[in-house]
Structure formats: structure tokens, C-alpha cells
């Protein structure tokens, strides 16, 4: 994280605040924004806690399924460090280095680190596919939100599989030799390429170890992954239903509250600006302003964004912010053999 990248992060967060104000002002209710009661916040906090814990359980269970003795506390820090770094870096680029560093500092081997992060992404892809398939069937014919969800799954899965295929291909070709010319044109240093090469070579052994993974633990990890997605989906419907008990609960009214936030959460990953740069707030207004009662729309947007983004920054910063920031520091320059001491 250079000075220029911190500036980009600052500007992106300023855009997010500006976009929130742009959305909030025309929707501000005449009687003022209603304050949600403490039971609503208690349920929201419980939902966030359950989402984080099930995600950490997924990481621990999948690691132990492959013989990696990962503690639950370490898995929890892996999650939180990734959340914090992802929020403050362009295109969420800091998430994996931060998770990698937490695993390294816990004593996990290089091959184990690659395997844990690979499994996390692999299970996320398949659990998202299952949840989206069930939701698409349950809400079939309920408007554009279903189409948006299907487009999300159709785009997310090939990207993940494509990234895995590229990594596997590079792992079979990458050795200890000098970096190819095309790598230098991308601005990747020789030292960084050697580190990438070692990680990619570890990927081969990691993938091979999946063949002997404990199926019961892998199934439990997959269940944890599905639950974490469901808890993420439940946040907005829970806020709306508890804030307005008179809200008409039907499949037609529930569909946009469930499907659009899921599409925004995973689709927003492709936005290069840290935190979305206001894209999430604008898309929320465009897709959900007619689905949420006017009196609670502002409260729903602000608290949904708090419980799905800002709270993760606070918790992640407190629990693992030090590790995330260490992972984002530039590597110190090393002296060449001919350089004077």
C-alpha cells in the first residue's frame, strides 16, 4: 500500500459517503429516519457473528480434512484479516496476501497455505452455486432479480474455474529459472516472481492432497460454507421485516430483498475501487428503492451497508489489522551482490 494507493482508498471511501448521501437525500422520510430498536440490532449482530464463525469453521474443517492442523482462532484471523485488507485495497487485492501472512505466522507450511486458500475459494464457488440454484428455483418468475442472480452465477463460476486453470497451468511450467519477459512487462520483480513460482509449485502438491481428504470433514466444511452464504443473504430481509412488521411477506416481495443484495455483494467484487467506490450504494437504490417501503428505505440501506461492510472493517481492523497491514507493506529492497555494503 503506497501513498498513492492510500489516496485511492481515501477517495473511494469519500465517493461511497457521497453516493450514500446522494441516495439518502431524495428518500429521506418526512418524519425523519426511524431508529431501529435494540432487538433488531441484536439480531443483526448475531447474524454477522454467525456468518464469520461459519466461514472460519469452513476454513478449519477443510484444512483438517487435508491433514493441516489449523486452529479455529487462526482460521478466524484468516477471515478477518482478509475482510479488512479487501475493504481497503483496489479490487480486493489485499485479501489473499493478508490471509497468506496470517497462515504463515501460524506455522502453516507453504503448501498448506496454498491449499487452505485454494479450498476456501473452491468451497465458496460451489456453495454459492448451490444457494443460487435453490433461490432461482424458489423465486422463479419473480422479475429481473432472478435474471441478475443467474447472470452472477454464470459469470462467477467461469472466472474462478479459469483462475484455477491458469494457476494449475503455471504450476506445471514454473521452475526456478528467471522470470519470463512478459512477467517483467507487468511490473513483477524477479524476487516476487520466484515467490509466486514457489507458491504455484506448492499448488501441485495441494491439489494432489485433495484425493486423500477426509470426506466427512470436507462435507462439514461445505455445510459451513453454505451457511455463511445464507447468513450473508439474510441480513437485508431481516432488517426490513423487523423494522416494519407490517411489511407484506410474500414470495414476490421477498425475492428482491434476498436476490439483489446477493448479486450486489458478489458482483461488487469486480469493481476495482476499494469498497466499491459508491457503486454498491447506487446499485442498491436502483434495484431496491421500489421493493422497500419509503419510510424505512434509508435506514435499510445505511444499516445493511454497516452490517455487511463497515462492521467487518472495524472488527477485522481490531482483530487482525496489524497482520493485514504488514502483508500490504512493500517488500524491502535487497542489495545486489555487487552493491556496496
**151 touches 245 (CB < 8 A):** no
User: Does pLDDT of 165 surpass 70?
Assistant: no
Look at residues 287, 338, 328, 285 and name the one whose alpha carbon lies nearest to residue 84. Answer: 328
> What whole-number distance in Å separates Cα of residue 203 and Cα of residue 169?
10
283-320 tens-digit pLDDT: 899 889 889 998 899 999 999 999 999 999 999 999 88
What pTM did the predictor assign?
A: 0.81
| φ, ψ for residue 331, nearest 5 deg | -65, 135
14-64 tens-digit pLDDT: 888 898 889 888 888 777 777 788 999 999 999 999 999 999 999 999 999
- Side-chain-side CA neighbours of 338 within 13 Å: the count stands at 0
> What whole-number distance in Å separates Cα of residue 202 and Cα of residue 163?
16
231-282 tens-digit pLDDT: 999 999 999 999 988 998 888 889 889 888 888 887 777 777 788 888 899 9
Amino acid at each position: 500500500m503506497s501513498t498513492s494507493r492510500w489516496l485511492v482508498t481515501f477517495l473511494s471511501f469519500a465517493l461511497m459517503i457521497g453516493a450514500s448521501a446522494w441516495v439518502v437525500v431524495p428518500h429521506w422520510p418526512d418524519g425523519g429516519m426511524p431508529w431501529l430498536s435494540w432487538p433488531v440490532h441484536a439480531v443483526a449482530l448475531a447474524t454477522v457473528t454467525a456468518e464469520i464463525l461459519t466461514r472460519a469453521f469452513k476454513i478449519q474443517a477443510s484444512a483438517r480434512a487435508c491433514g493441516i492442523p489449523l486452529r479455529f482462532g487462526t482460521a478466524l484471523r484468516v477471515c478477518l484479516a482478509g475482510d479488512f485488507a479487501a475493504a481497503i485495497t483496489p479490487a480486493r487485492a489485499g485479501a489473499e496476501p493478508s490471509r497468506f501472512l496470517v497462515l504463515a505466522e501460524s506455522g502453516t507450511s507453504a503448501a498448506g497455505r496454498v491449499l487452505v486458500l485454494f479450498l476456501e475459494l473452491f468451497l465458496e464457488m460451489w456453495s454459492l452455486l448451490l444457494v443460487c440454484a435453490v433461490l432461482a428455483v424458489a423465486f422463479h418468475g419473480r422479475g429481473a432479480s432472478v435474471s441478475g442472480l443467474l447472470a452472477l452465477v454464470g459469470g462467477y463460476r467461469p472466472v474462478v474455474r479459469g483462475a484455477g486453470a491458469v494457476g494449475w497451468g503455471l504450476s506445471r511450467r514454473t521452475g526456478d529459472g528467471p522470470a519470463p519477459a512478459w512477467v517483467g512487462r507487468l511490473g513483477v520483480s524477479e524476487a516476487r516472481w520466484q515467490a509466486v513460482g514457489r507458491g504455484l509449485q506448492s499448488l501441485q502438491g495441494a491439489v494432489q492432497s485433495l484425493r486423500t481428504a477426509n470426506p466427512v470433514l470436507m462435507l462439514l466444511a461445505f455445510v459451513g460454507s453454505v451457511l455463511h452464504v445464507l447468513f450473508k443473504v439474510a441480513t437485508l430481509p431481516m432488517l426490513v421485516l423487523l423494522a416494519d412488521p407490517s411489511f407484506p411477506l410474500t414470495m414476490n416481495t421477498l425475492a428482491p430483498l434476498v436476490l439483489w443484495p446477493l448479486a450486489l455483494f458478489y458482483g461488487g467484487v469486480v469493481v476495482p475501487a476499494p469498497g466499491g467506490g459508491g457503486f454498491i450504494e447506487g446499485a442498491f437504490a436502483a434495484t431496491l428503492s421500489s421493493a422497500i417501503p419509503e419510510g424505512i428505505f434509508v435506514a435499510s440501506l445505511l444499516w445493511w451497508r454497516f452490517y455487511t461492510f463497515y462492521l467487518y472493517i472495524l472488527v477485522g481492523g481490531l482483530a487482525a489489522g496489524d497482520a493485514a497491514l504488514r502483508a500490504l507493506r512493500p517488500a524491502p529492497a535487497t542489495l545486489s551482490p555487487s552493491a556496496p555494503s
